[in-house]
Amino acid sequence: MSLLEIIRALAGEYVQIAVNLDTAMGALAQGKLDIWQDDEHRGGLTSVLETLGSLCITYEMPVTRRFVDKIIVCFREENKTLSNELLHQYLHQLRETFIAELSTKLFFQMTSGKVLFFESPWKGWEGVKDKFPDAATDIEEMSKCFALSRYAACVFHSLLVVERGLIALGRELRVTDPKLGWDATCGKMQQIIVAGHAKYPTLSIGFPILEQINQSAQAMKHAWRNKVNHAAGQLTVMQADFAPDVAEEIMVATRAFMRRLATDLPI
């Protein structure tokens, strides 16, 4: 399943709108503002309301949106039936409804150190994405799951990314096992390396490069042996909880491995 869409709630916009509404209400209450004589203030308040209206659509606040539309329509009426007193009442109702609807929402905060993983999941993966398009979804989900502290999910998607790379490598090595994946590819690499370069003179990958790739794959397999299952050539997460640093290490190792494959595989 793909990661659920996370709506970005910009707290600063909410605060600024609340301040602007309070300022307008205060000016109206003290008689310092005649909304029909002050074109600049009316224009500024209209702009604030239009911004709030857009936020209401994004964050699903239909009742607040109706109040916004009501006031904007009044501003556009030629007969100017909206008095300062009535506008003050409308703005008060709007503010109270806005606060009430916001209270029905649940907001999450993302730490600044993880924003980059969520906003720019492809940073550092550009070449890998182009070389292994089938892994694109899992690369993005891996990065965003890490940003959202879903570390087991991050590891799961990391393993799927590695598997895509190993399947591609297995095809280059002409793996005959019908279950392409970790075991099949690693087994074939080991077989080629043990047999020696002379037995595989037409290998499309340089022998020294293949040795290095095999070492990296074996190291990853060894490092993850207590965390994942390699049965039947498939990688599955065996534990539900991962420390943040462990998940990040696996993610970084995955990126390094896939970069190497993207650079050295003749595909």
Average pLDDT over residues 204-218: 86
Task: Spell out the domain ranges in the chain.
Answer: 11-102, 112-264
State the Cα–Cα distance between residues 26 and 20, nearest whole angstrom: 10
- Strands (E) across the chain are located at 228-229, 236-237
Q: CB-based contacts of 42: which residues, under 8 Å, 6+ apart?
A: 35, 36, 75
Res. 240 pLDDT band, cuts 50 70 90: low
- pLDDT of res. 97: 93
Taking a C-beta distance cutoff of 8 angstroms, is the pair 168, 258 a contact?
A: no
Q: What is the pLDDT of residues 26-68, one digit of tens each?
A: 888 888 778 888 888 888 899 999 999 998 998 889 999 999 9
Residue 97 CB neighbours (<10 A): 18
Highest averaged pLDDT of the listed ranges 15-19, 61-65, 100-104: 61-65
For residues 231 and 242, the model is more confident at: 242
Res. 3 pLDDT band, cuts 50 70 90: very low
Burial pattern 103-134, b for ≥16 Cβ within 10 A else e, equals eeeeeeeeeeebeebbeebeeebeebbebbee
pTM strictly above 0.75: no
- Phi, psi of 228, rounded to the nearest 5 degrees: -135, 165
State the Cα–Cα distance between residues 169 and 185, nearest whole angstrom: 7
Joined together, the tokens standing for residue 173 give 């090595």
pLDDT at 224 > cutoff 50 = yes
Q: Based on C-alpha coordinates, what's the Rg of the chain?
A: 29
- pLDDT of res. 226: 53
Taking a C-beta distance cutoff of 8 angstroms, is the pair 113, 215 a contact?
A: no
- pLDDT of res. 237: 60
Q: Crossing angle, helix 136-147 and helix 151-172, to 10 degrees?
A: 160
- pLDDT of res. 196: 84
pLDDT at 123 > cutoff 80 = yes
State the Cα–Cα distance between residues 26 and 30, nearest whole angstrom: 6
State the Cα–Cα distance between residues 241 and 233, nearest whole angstrom: 23
Res. 1 pLDDT band, cuts 50 70 90: very low
State the Cα–Cα distance between residues 105 and 100, nearest whole angstrom: 10
pLDDT at 238 > cutoff 60 = no
Q: Give the DSSP letter of residue 178.
A: S
Residues in the chain: 267
Of 36-45, 162-171, 232-241, the range with the lowest mean pLDDT is 232-241
- Report the C-alpha dihedral over residues 213, 215, 216, 220, rounded to 10 degrees: 140
The closest of 67, 65, 107, 72 to 89, measured between CA atoms, is: 67
